[in-house]
Amino acid sequence: MRHSGRVSSSKKDRRKTPPPDPAPLPSLIDAHTHLAACGGRTAEDVRAILDHAEAVGVSHVVTVADDMVDARWAVAAAHWDPRAFAAVGLHPTHAADLDDAARAELEEMVVDERVVAVGETGLDYYWTTRSDDCADPATQRDAFAWHIDLAKRTGKALMIHNRDADRDLLDVLAAEGSPDTVVMHCFSGDRRIAAECVDRNYYLSFSGTVTFNNSDELRAAADITPAERMLVETDAPFLTPHPYRGQPNQSYCLPYTARALASVKGLDDEEMAAVLTANTRRAYAVTLR
Ligand SMILES: [Zn+2]
Ligand SMILES: [Zn+2]
């Protein structure tokens, strides 16, 4: 996710206040976060973020790159701490950076044993009209096709970013042919899109948006998604779950969203957590230490 914009000074105070710790819910995996953007610059920073997460039951995280600098950093972070895995790729907004050198470097990085997914890649039509440095749709589509092929060649999961591009995104995946494992990160579609993803055996990864007051359709989409196809993520530092929307998000906030999913699915919190974690391990083919 990419967010920007000015905020009023009263909102600024709230933006700096971290949400309280949720009651622990073992043993969850944050399927998509951005540790560097959460303030994790050094190995010590990363350890502190992951210690905090572990204290409420979030045992592992997948830290996701959105540009080349971030990709190098994500691989390094995954080697610093056994609780972190990495995903590498160019965010669709940065698709224009995918030159020969970037391709060669990503090919090398993705085979690293700590890298569990290719991405985040996909289509983002929100920023194309709002940011001058966002890649145009044709460039995004070409880069997306390259990442799809990379996932197929390496057997790693494909981590999809989709913003305001449901139909084109599913059409590109159908035209190129989906890899074995596709994760729809921060799933934001309606019931129809959810049903199509389930039909294709994709995983739908739900973020804090599923807790928002105005997300009835997204909760309906979660309701028709079999529990076995669901993952849970923070996309931190963005998309902090209700009622802390707008405050800084980190992996320790994951239990709030996992509990919201349990409530949608009518499952016990612990039962939901166990299913989500089993799904995440299967999707990313991770062996946990
Ligand atoms: Zn994203
Ligand atoms: Zn993200």
Please give the angle made by the CA atoms of 77, 79 and 83, to the nearest 5 degrees.
75
Question: Ligand 1 mean position to 71 CA, how many Å?
Answer: 14
Give tens-digit pLDDT for 23-40: 999 989 999 999 999 999
Least confident range of 44-58, 75-89, 125-139, 263-277? 125-139
Question: Which ligand has the minimum distance to the alpha carbon of residue 33?
Answer: 2
pLDDT value for 207? 97
Question: Ligand 2 mean position to 238 CA, how many Å?
Answer: 8
Tokens of 156: 């790693």
Question: Ligand 1 mean position to 1 CA, how many Å?
Answer: 4
What would the mean pLDDT of 206-224 be, rounded to a whole number?
97
Question: Ligand 2 mean position to 258 CA, how many Å?
Answer: 18
**CA-CA-CA-CA torsion sign (96, 97, 99, 102):** negative
Question: Ligand 1 mean position to 100 CA, how many Å?
Answer: 24
Question: Which ligand has the minimum distance to the alpha carbon of residue 91?
Answer: 1
What would the mean pLDDT of 106-122 be, rounded to a whole number?
97
Question: Ligand 1 mean position to 66 CA, how many Å?
Answer: 8
Question: Ligand 2 mean position to 2 CA, how many Å?
Answer: 8
pLDDT confidence band for 198 (50 / 70 / 90): very high
Question: Which ligand has the minimum distance to the alpha carbon of residue 65?
Answer: 2
Give tens-digit pLDDT for 259-283: 999 999 999 999 999 999 999 999 9
Please give the angle made by the CA atoms of 133, 147 and 190, to the nearest 5 degrees.
80
Contact (CB, 8 A) for 256 and 22: yes
Question: Ligand 2 mean position to 75 CA, how many Å?
Answer: 16
pLDDT value for 129? 84
For residue 13, pLDDT over 90 is answered with no
pTM: 0.94
Question: Ligand 2 mean position to 122 CA, how many Å?
Answer: 11
pLDDT confidence band for 288 (50 / 70 / 90): low
Q: Round to whole Å and give the CA distance between 127 and 152.
A: 28
What would the mean pLDDT of 10-21 be, rounded to a whole number?
82
